[in-house]
């Protein structure tokens, strides 16, 4: 008995050992699966955090441009109208809101440990410094306007009080000098530098986000491959265990062994953990794609009218060949009076109605519609003949006629429309100037009509 028992123990398979091995293997496999799920969750959180930071950084960068534009608009309106509300609005942005300074802080905090910190921070700092530099010229223009309008009380704004350069300008030259200061080519060059630096920072932020998304996608793909390998090892181990149980314990396991050997069950596709990982990956990937598409759409479209905005205009217009293209430039006549007399809410409705009317007449695959300014719209029609067709002119006249009739609480307005035909020799600037010249001609003639550049 004793010899037989020893011999049996030497040749036989220890189920206890197999049990321990199975338990250890199960714990190891379970631990790996749990770790991979936690890792995916962490990666998902990292993607969400980086996406939120990206949106915040891009918004902060845009705030620099928007704040600079607000300062410019207020100083120009003040110089042109001498209305003190624009002076107060200017200094509210400069001293209270401080979007430019806040943007610098936000971008510094979010990029401090990032490889793009120096590039982005330098670009935004340059934009803010350029904007701050313009303020000296703006103080000068505002001081001239204040001196030219003694009723304006500007004593609480020490920046204007301390601008002594304006004191020496002759009274009859003050208004002209003030206008020249904020509408000069040098002033516009500085504004363009601000835009260039902000766009540079945004481009770097976009590139970082694109890289992060690509890296996250690759990490998830690698993790899915790793997870598949673990599952395959587990299946192989279970197949071996079934064979052992068939040989040493139970005969009914033959059907299971046959099923596995005939590949009747594909465990990778039906495994719960794998399906979970795949669904997490699909959700993260789709979310990232949706975010990119949404950000791209919002960056290139006007929120009020849903038309292409200035950014979309620059991208689309600069990428198309200009021969056999018709450029239509139009704006709403006396739109400022609508805003001033009826309020901005009605003004917005007028803009939306105008946009919808344009889309009604130019809703085809060859037409691109843009809102490029406050009440200024552009239509680019491609694949046209060498001449401007009567159909195009007739559509423009119908638009003007339709908009001229009031609609509910929306007042009737008129459109001034300039049309130009592009040639192979044209650039985006020359074609725009042609349409602008035609627009100027109809405005000079009394507005409310269509003019063709010749």
| pLDDT 10s digits, 238-278 | 787 688 566 766 766 556 445 545 656 666 555 555 455 55
Q: If you average pLDDT over every residue of the chain, what do you get?
A: 84
Helix, strand, or coil here: 70? helix
CATH topology for 310-452 is: Alpha-Beta Plaits (3.30.70)
Q: For 104-134, how does the pLDDT look when each residue is reduced to its tens digit (9 = 90+)?
A: 888 888 887 788 878 888 888 988 888 888 8
Helix (H) or strand (E) holding 451: strand 449-452
- The pLDDT, as a whole number, for residue 262 is 63
The two tokens of residue 60 are 């902060």
The two tokens of residue 430 are 């020359």
Q: Cβ(140)–Cβ(181) under 8 Å?
A: yes
C-alpha span between 372 and 117 (Å, rounded):
32
Helices (H), 249-334: 254-261, 267-270, 272-300, 310-318
DSSP secondary-structure letter at 411?
A: P
Q: Say which residue the tokens 């990490």 belong to.
A: 219
**10 has pLDDT over 70:** no
Whole-number Cα distances in Å, 1 to 5, 8, 26, 248, 445: 6, 10, 36, 22, 123
Q: How confident is the model at residue 329 (pLDDT cuts 50, 70, 90)?
A: very high
Q: What is the mean pLDDT of residues 293-311?
A: 90
Expressed in percent and rounded to 5, the helix, strand and coil fractions of the chain are 70, 5, 20
Phi then psi for 452, rounded to 5 degrees?
-110, 130
Least confident of 160-164, 231-235, 406-410: 231-235
Q: What is the mean pLDDT of residues 125-147?
A: 89
Q: For 379-403, how does the pLDDT look when each residue is reduced to its tens digit (9 = 90+)?
A: 999 988 777 888 899 999 999 999 9
Percent of the chain, pLDDT > 90?
Answer: 40
In the chain, residues under CATH classification 3.30.70.270 are 310-452
* pTM attached to this predicted model: 0.42
Q: How confident is the model at residue 348 (pLDDT cuts 50, 70, 90)?
A: very high
């Amino acid at each position: 008995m004793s010899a037989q028992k020893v011999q049996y123990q030497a040749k036989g398979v220890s189920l206890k050992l197999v049990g321990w091995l199975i338990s250890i293997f199960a714990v190891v496999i379970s631990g790996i699966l749990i770790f991979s799920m936690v890792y995916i969750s962490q990666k998902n959180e990292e993607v969400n955090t980086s996406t939120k930071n990206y949106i915040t950084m891009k918004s902060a960068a845009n705030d620099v441009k928007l704040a600079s534009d607000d300062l410019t608009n207020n100083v120009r309106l003040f110089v042109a109208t001498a209305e003190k509300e624009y002076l107060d609005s200017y200094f509210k942005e400069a001293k209270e809101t401080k979007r430019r300074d806040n943007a610098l802080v936000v971008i510094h905090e979010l990029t401090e440990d990032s490889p793009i910190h120096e590039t982005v921070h330098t670009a935004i700092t340059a934009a803010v410094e350029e904007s701050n530099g313009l303020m000296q010229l703006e103080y000068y223009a505002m001081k001239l306007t204040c001196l030219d309008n003694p009723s304006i009380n500007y004593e609480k704004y020490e920046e204007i009080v301390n601008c002594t350069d304006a004191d020496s300008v002759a009274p009859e030259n003050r208004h002209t000098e003030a206008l020249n200061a904020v509408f000069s080519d040098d002033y516009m060059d500085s504004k363009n530098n601000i835009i260039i630096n902000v766009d540079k920072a945004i481009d770097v932020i976009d590139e970082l986000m694109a890289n992060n998304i690509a890296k996250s996608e690759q990490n998830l793909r690698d993790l899915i491959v790793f997870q598949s390998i673990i599952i395959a090892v587990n299946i192989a181990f279970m197949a071996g265990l079934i064979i052992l149980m068939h040989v040493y314990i139970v005969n009914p396991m033959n059907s299971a062994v046959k099923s596995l050997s005939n590949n009747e069950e594909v465990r990778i596709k039906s495994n719960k953990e794998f399906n979970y990982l795949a669904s997490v990956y699909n959700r993260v990937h789709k979310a990232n794609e949706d975010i990119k598409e949404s950000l791209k759409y919002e960056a290139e479209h006007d929120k009020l009218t849903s038309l292409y905005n200035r950014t979309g205009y620059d991208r689309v217009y600069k990428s198309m060949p200009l021969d056999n293209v018709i450029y239509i430039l139009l704006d709403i006549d006396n739109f400022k009076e609508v805003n001033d007399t009826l309020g901005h809410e009605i003004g917005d409705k007028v803009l939306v109605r105008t946009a919808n009317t344009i889309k009604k007449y130019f809703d085809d695959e060859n037409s691109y519609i843009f809102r490029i300014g406050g009440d200024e719209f552009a239509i680019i029609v491609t694949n046209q003949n060498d001449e401007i067709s009567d159909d195009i002119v007739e559509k423009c006249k119908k638009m003007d006629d339709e908009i001229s009739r009031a609609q509910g609480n929306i007042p009737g307005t008129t459109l001034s429309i300039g049309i130009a035909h592009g040639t192979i020799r044209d650039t985006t600037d020359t074609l725009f100037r042609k349409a602008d010249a035609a627009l100027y001609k109809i405005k000079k003639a009394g507005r409310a009509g269509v003019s063709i550049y010749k």
